[in-house]
Structure 1
Amino acid sequence: MAIILTKGQKINLSKEGILKKILVGLGWDTNKYDGGYDFDLDASVFCCGEDGKAHKDTDFVFYNNLKHPSGAIEHLGDNLTGGGEGDDEQVVIDLEKVPEEIQKIAFSVTIYDPEVRKQNFGQVSNAFVRIVNSDNNEELVRYDLGEDFSIETAVVVAELYRNNGDWKFNAIGSGFQGGLAALCKNYGLNA
């Protein structure tokens, strides 16, 4: 049975036993929308040092860079519509391969081309992130974001971070305006 977190809560994943590989599932639904465009949300991962910044472009894993050079983090592909049940996009992480210089792994969801499409997270519902133990497919943690967003076009959903040799999970739920470019700037990269 998964542990359900609320915004701001943290959990030590290492206390759940020895985790080697995890699947991070992100999902969402869009409200009825008739703006003439499909609603395309994209999951992204920022691999950060102790300063909370990504130091190389390859530390940004997303639909145009599906795999971190270390082989530790892999985005399983872009869902262009968000249709269907369950996870809309997934990221697989081999915790044993994550380079030591990566101290934090931040997960975000952005709206593709939000200005042109006139879309924002006020039009998104049922957004969630979950952590699954890849060895036995057990869902360990789930965080349902709720409906707290209106004009935001990007959301930092959650993060994994190292703490005294353990991996911890933090339910963030922090919205940004400015889409992917704003997020990249926040994490020290140029969009």
Structure 2
Amino acid sequence: MTRGANVALTREIPGLTRLVVGVAWDAGSERVLDDNLVLALLLCGPDRTVLSGEHVVFFNQLTSPEESVVARDDALGGDQEQVEVDLARVPPEVARLVAVLYVNEGTTQRRTLGQLRSVSVVVRDGVDHRELVRSEDLAPVLQAETALVLGEVYRHGGDWKFKVVGEGYATGVSGVAADFGVPL
């Protein structure tokens, strides 16, 4: 799927109740970059801001408060990192789940997402892990960005849809935090 494209997940697959949102990347020989990439899922309300600091799932906070979103220990199917989503348990005040990839700013050596050979967001069925959606390679347009909004799973009427976003941030995770109201 290309940037901006969306798909009606639960309308197209009526029995879909669980998702796995993952990211696949190729950092080539850039081991420091490879070791410092982080996937985060932001649980946002209708105003596109996170509900609270507890509604950000990543390596330092492995579950959302109600456990509808959980970071996986081991990624499957060629993804480097994954987050599981139980759609039925997502609180009604959550309008969208925003997937973000960022370079952990704790590194002493400056790395950017522009050094990636490839990067794509993948949505899988949470039961059998078969691939449902894969974005186009988002890496070719990246340069100095250190954070990237990959895509979002969002409510549309009574259904869940997925949209590829591909929006980069040269200001890193702090730029994402400012746009989505994440307390740092």
TM-score by length of 1: 0.87
CA offset digits 1:91-137 (Å, max 9, x no partner): 00000000000000000000112773210011012211111112233
Contact 1:58–1:69, Cα closer than 8 Å, also in 2: yes
CA offset digits 1:24-64 (Å, max 9, x no partner): 12111113348x77641000011000000012111111111
2:128 corresponds to 1:136: yes
Q: Measured at CA, do residues 137 and 188 of structure 1 come closer, stay the same or move farther in structure 2, by a change above 3 Å? A: same
Q: 1:103 aligns with which of 84, 95, 109?
A: 95
2:79 corresponds to 1:87: yes
- The residue matched to 1:58 in structure 2 has which SS? helix
* Contiguous gaps of at least 5 residues in structure 1: none
| Equivalent residue letter for 1:153 | T
Match of 2:174 in 1: 181
Give the paired residue count: 182
Match of 1:27 in 2: 24
CA offset digits 1:141-189 (Å, max 9, x no partner): 1113241100000000000000101000000000002222221111112
| Equivalent residue letter for 1:103 | A
Deviates more, 1:68-77 or 1:133-142: 133-142
* Contiguous gaps of at least 5 residues in structure 2: none
2:36 corresponds to 1:40: yes
Distance of 2:182 and 2:8 partners within structure 1: 29
The structure richer in helix per residue is 2
Contact 1:161–1:169, Cα closer than 8 Å, also in 2: yes
**Structure 1 runs, 4 residues or longer, greater than 6 Å off:** none
Distance of 1:134 and 1:37 partners within structure 2: 28
State percent identity of aligned pairs. Answer: 29
TM-score by length of 2: 0.91
